[in-house]
Chain A
């Protein structure tokens, strides 16, 4: 270069290569040992690597994988049979099949330096390899996360369930314990060599029937964000009940009335002037203080629920679960109610919105699984987004005498601990819970809902009437379409009543049901009743990935079979005025 050379050096951005992504996802090597030339031994590890490439490259949208009319279409019957066979072979052995090893070696040696964002036809060869590895890894994990069936359990499925047993043994001593004997990240990820601080892999239940995404390409595995973003825990089923039995849920829209003074302004303000409020469940718990000067005990509340269960059982079917709306109870109170119900009833599940004073006040969904007269499992899922009451809502709920309608008011709750729980409550059925705002905000929990596709999503709300055209109905419809979950939203009669103007006709829509391929059903609480008994029927249906692979009718789909109002024969006075 001469002294008079005036050429500028131009920064050339570095491309991200196939090998880069593999080394990021598997930083210590595909089998540990800081080597990447051999394919992962564990299918979820391979899935994490190739799914990351698939997502970042967008290769899932290529015509050759998704468009049966395309001349280059790959996913014909013979190909589907082939990937199934290889996946099944891997699921039943201790080593990846030779075909998988060859594909990986080809990818690393010949295409390791390929840019993952290369859209040219020259990238198609490595995209085909990645796609095939993705599908094979998914097929190898059929049934993962569920109880193996004696007749056709695979080694992979059995190994995962066995490790859940090991993890649960340790977790019963230390609830913060992570890892079984084989899988170091249980219950937050199925991977071995993929850091959970980068991403996680979990089982999934529903394959979206619409859309073209990575999620549409898998039946058995879901790619999830890091535990730092949202910590998702999957728990396998203990209930081996046959899937044909209906599932009966008693929705109790407590509290039935909510005094305005339950909303308490807080002194602190945000710098921009927004205000803060808290909720006081004590204000609505005992609406007859002169008649119940000692207050309402967990036994009183459990007896009230038990009374409803008895009415339901004597007239209709057994009750499997009770659902209470957002912030219905205080956490410690709910814990005791759950213990009493476990001892006195045959209930399987109590799902309640609770308020906790731990850690600066949390708004939580509490899930109690009841078995053999005890609470056998319990978790609390935080609400992740604060409720913002603006002037419109303050007027709608007639709270202008306690909260200034000219200010914005934020719910004073701790929204850290971003966690989401997925529980299998029947042989092939999973359930997850959302609290209010989480139904409407995409991050962090709806990304998990979309990826895993719980068969049933229950949204606990403190909201007005559950009308299809209102926001819960709209978001429930979105979830029912993609990923295809059945959604039940539940609110309290007290909030429904607060949203009514004096003299207007009553609204009584305390719940809304939306199932895939079905219309939304608004569920009203009949006058004089205290609960709604919903019967969910279920059937196994076949779902298909975008590339045409069916799942052999392994997907549980719920439908609302019946709804009955339930009236307590002798409602306690502490319930207060029931609209």
Chain B
């Protein structure tokens, strides 16, 4: 899947129109903490899409 920067901006714009709910910041901080847990023994391999999906959109 290829995504343009413009689309990212649109997603962000959509989100900016929604007030972050009351519990969001605490949830985000809690989930960030969970990333500090010890690394697993074997990391998940990178995902490799098909050649067609690995091409960036020209911008």
Contacting residue for B1 out of A193, A197, A379, CB 8 A:
A379
Cα–Cα distance between A382 and B52 once the two chains are bound (Å): 10
CB–CB B4/A172 < 8 A: yes
For the complex with contacts A31-B34, A158-B24, A359-B51, 8 further pairs of A-B residues with Cβ separation under 8 Å are A31-B37, A165-B11, A172-B57, A175-B49, A196-B44, A238-B14, A376-B6, A417-B49
**A90-98, A307-315, A528-536 - the one binding chain B:** A90-98
Cα–Cα distance between A376 and B57 once the two chains are bound (Å): 8
Cα–Cα distance between A220 and B32 once the two chains are bound (Å): 24
* Chain B 9-57 residues near chain A, CB threshold 8 A: 10-12, 14-15, 17-24, 26-32, 34-35, 37-38, 40, 44-57
Contacting residue for B38 out of A32, A94, A184, CB 8 A:
A32
CB–CB A378/B44 < 8 A: no
> What 1/0 mask marks residues of chain A from 160 to 189 whose CB sits below 8 Å from any chain B CB?
011011001101111110100110110110
Cα–Cα distance between A9 and B20 once the two chains are bound (Å): 64
Residues of A within 8 A of B35 (CB): 182, 184
Residues of B within 8 A of A168 (CB): 3, 7-8, 11
Query: Smallest CB–CB gap between A285 and chain B, Å?
Result: 20
Cα–Cα distance between A193 and B51 once the two chains are bound (Å): 29
Cα–Cα distance between A168 and B54 once the two chains are bound (Å): 14
Residues of A within 8 A of B46 (CB): 176, 178
Cα–Cα distance between A159 and B25 once the two chains are bound (Å): 9
Interface: A352 (CB within 8 A): no
Interface: A492 (CB within 8 A): no
Majority SS of interface residues in chain A? loop
Contacting residue for A28 out of B14, B40, B45, B48, CB 8 A:
B40
Which of B1, B20, B29, B37 has the largest count of A CB atoms less than 10 A from its CB? B1
Residues of A within 8 A of B29 (CB): 94
Cα–Cα distance between A375 and B10 once the two chains are bound (Å): 13
> What 1/0 mask marks residues of chain A from 401 to 425 whose CB sits below 8 Å from any chain B CB?
0000000000000000101010000
Residues of A within 8 A of B8 (CB): 165, 168-169, 172
Query: Smallest CB–CB gap between B19 and chain A, Å?
Result: 6
**A16-24, A228-236, A540-548, A565-573 - the one binding chain B:** A228-236
Residues of B within 8 A of A153 (CB): 18-21
* Chain A 26-81 residues near chain B, CB threshold 8 A: 27-29, 31-34, 41-42
Cα–Cα distance between A562 and B55 once the two chains are bound (Å): 38
Interface: A155 (CB within 8 A): yes
Chain B positions within 8 Å of A, measured between CB atoms, are 1-8, 10-12, 14-15, 17-24, 26-32, 34-35, 37-38, 40, 44-57, 59
Contacting residue for A182 out of B10, B32, B59, CB 8 A:
B32
Known contacts being A94-B27, A168-B3, A378-B2, is A238 close to B50, with CB within 8 Å?
no
Residues of A within 8 A of B19 (CB): 150, 153
CB–CB A376/B7 < 8 A: yes
CB–CB A158/B26 < 8 A: no
> What 1/0 mask marks residues of chain A from 184 to 202 whose CB sits below 8 Å from any chain B CB?
1101100011011100000
27 contacts between A and B (CB under 8 A): A34-B38, A93-B27, A94-B23, A94-B30, A148-B21, A153-B20, A155-B22, A158-B24, A159-B24, A159-B31, A162-B15, A172-B5, A175-B3, A175-B53, A178-B47, A182-B32, A187-B1, A238-B11, A238-B14, A362-B50, A362-B52, A377-B1, A379-B53, A380-B52, A380-B53, A417-B50, A419-B53
